Amino acid sequence: MEKRKTLFWLNLALALTIIAVDIAYILLGQAYTYKTTASVLFVVLGIVNFVFAFFMGKERSKLFKYFMLTALIFACLGDIVLIEHFIIGAVLFAIGHVFFFIAYSTLYKIKFRDVLISLAIFGVALIVILVPDIFSFGSMLPVVIVYAFIISFMLGKSISNLFANKYLGKDILIMLGSLLFFLSDLMLLFNVFADISDIFDTMCLVLYYPAEILLAISITYCGRDDKEMSVFKMMYCRIFQQCFHIMIPLLPYRQPKILKNMDEVIDTLKTENVDNILLVTDKSIRGLGLTRELEDKINKAGIKLFVFEDILPNPTTKMVEEGLKVYNENQCKGAIAFGGGSVMDTAKVILARQAYPKKSITKMKGLLKVRKKLPPLFAVPTTAGTGSETTLAAVITDADTHDKYAINSFPLIPKYAVLDYKTTINLPKNITSTTGMDALTHAVEAYIGHSTTRLTRKMSEDAVKLIVENLKICYDSPNNEEARENMLKASYYAGVSFTISYVGYVHAIAHSLGGQYGTPHGFANAVILPHVLKKYGVRAEKKLAKLAKISGIALQEDDRKTASDKFIEYIEELNKYFNIPTTIKDLKEEDINALAKHAEKEGNPLYPVPKLLSKEELKEIYFVLLVKEN
């Protein structure tokens, strides 16, 4: 990040200096003083960008950078020699244009389209040169035509490259620079060979030096790794995210009302006049007897209870429809989701389908597709991690296509969250650890993104601190009531935080793996989290460092990078402590392209991540997650 800032200010300073010297030459003349200085400066600008391109790790298009710098040097020589020797100066410029053309061709191979566009431009140039009866070329006509041919191909190739780049915008600098160069030479043509106003001399200079500035800067910003996201797409994503950030105070976010035990659930059911209730859970939770207290109290209160327990990890559209059938057949007036994220997500979508009987689950996919008020939902988390008891999201897998997607709408936020630590006592160690890491992921991703608020920053900080202090205790001592209660609080805080401020690419990747292989969500998040944080690099350093210091992972006197590195190392150590691997065993290399496409589509533009990643960059993370064969 520091290198980018340094380069930006150097580019700005040199560009403004070149423009100032150019203006001085236009006003004062003195070609050898001002014109030469400006020409040397744009070569210096090119050298600066050439050096920084390698410092910033953009080594893929080395030939592009070498040929661009060579072209700038020939343009500088041509500009200086042109003062006294027009033909020699023109030849040097022509050589520079040839090197520009070669540089552009290192980005994208020469195709028939390049020739057609270049010949069309050359045809226009010939019409300008030959048709008007205003030029006196004399013996210079062949030289002018050859020069026009060369620069037409330079401009043509730069335009054609935009068609080769599906994202557009990545190579816009070289196209604009080439166009200004072409127009500058056209002005020079009028100035030297036509007996008309001197304004064309000024116009030539006004166009020429900005052209050279753009081409010099393009050494860094063009010809970069094809894996990076285009400038235009980055702008679109950031504008989209900023609009949502601005709208946060205007959106109907709400926090569920917290109930502390099952007695409060019964009292609230009576207050809500709910006499028929659907209990959504899974067979393992019910088989362990975790729902027995609640079921007994509901029955004693004279409330009719109906149970849907056919929930599996990564719930599908089929499960939702089966649960909806039970809900409708028994004329239920609300639901209790008793379990983890899968149970709660299923219950949310059951109620959404009940409110929209003619709307398929697929059509609810995305943002704000569910707008009607839903029947009351009581969320009873049996794990401290998913945060589903607080969120507006439900993640569902299409039973036919295996596509895993999120439904994000405000009515999906449960009306009540039942934070009873007794439901989490004696959880299996692997569930305790992976759901705890899930909560940590929620807090971290919400905190390091660009859509934080004062509330979500505080919630994330509190959640991380509680997780660092209590998760290992819960893992080692499953009956520790205080630690279990603190982890439920942490999960709730993290849930509120990411509901408002969103998550990031960890979730996008985890959802793709869950949809394809049924990978448990918390487990996937735990494995992926350190890899994605490393990928963000310096963009996440400041906030990770603050979390590290707040939670006691780093010392207050540690510098930003040291503290950030300690935080990531702590996550890796936690995973190792919990026997969570660094790779995903089910991941297949042949699936990576499709998985990355799914993750990129989910993440961009919605997730306000610290660093935007393209599909190709996301693929690199999947390859890190791939189990290496011996």
> What is each CA distance from 322 to 280, 328, 334, 374, in whole angstroms?
11, 10, 16, 18
Q: Is the dihedral of CA 85, 86, 91, 94 positive or negative?
A: positive
pLDDT at 495: 94
Smallest Cα–Cα separation from 281: which of 230, 234, 340? 340
101/191: higher pLDDT: 101
Q: Count CA within 13 A, CB hemisphere, residue 24.
A: 15
Arithmetic mean of pLDDT over the chain: 90
Q: What are phi and psi of 279, to 5 degrees?
A: -95, 115
Q: Determine how β-strand 404-408 pairs with β-strand 393-397.
A: antiparallel
> Is the per-residue pLDDT at 458 higher than 70?
yes
Q: What is the pLDDT of residues 499-532, one digit of tens each?
A: 999 999 999 999 999 989 989 999 999 999 999 9
Q: How many residues does the chain have?
A: 630
260-424 in CATH: which number? 3.40.50.1970
Q: What is the pLDDT of residues 270-306, one digit of tens each?
A: 999 999 999 999 998 898 889 999 999 999 999 999 9
Confidence of residue 630 (pLDDT cuts 50, 70, 90): very low
What residue spans define the domains of the chain?
2-226, 260-424
Distance CA 295, CA 470 (A): 30
Residue 405 parent element (H or E): strand 404-408
Query: How large is the average pLDDT for residues 487-503?
Result: 95
pLDDT at 65: 87
Torsion of CA 35, 180, 59, 115, to 10 degrees: -130
Distance CA 598, CA 353 (A): 25
Residue 394 parent element (H or E): strand 393-397
Q: What is the pLDDT of residues 347-405, one digit of tens each?
A: 999 999 999 999 999 999 988 899 999 999 999 999 998 888 999 989 899 888 888 88
Query: How large is the average pLDDT for residues 483-496?
Result: 95
Query: In 10 A of CB 179, how many CB atoms?
Result: 17
Q: Is the dihedral of CA 256, 262, 267, 269 positive or negative?
A: positive
> Is the per-residue pLDDT at 224 higher than 80?
no
Q: Is 134 exposed, middle or buried (0-12, 13-18, 19+ CB in 10 A)?
A: exposed
Whose tokens are 């960008």? That residue is 49
pTM assigned to the model: 0.71
Q: What is the pLDDT of residues 136-183, one digit of tens each?
A: 888 889 989 999 999 999 999 999 988 876 545 557 888 999 999 999
Identity of the highest mean pLDDT range in 84-88, 131-135, 167-171, 352-356: 352-356
| Residue 167: strand, helix, or coil | coil
Smallest Cα–Cα separation from 447: which of 408, 496, 410? 496
Q: Count CA within 13 A, CB hemisphere, residue 249.
A: 3
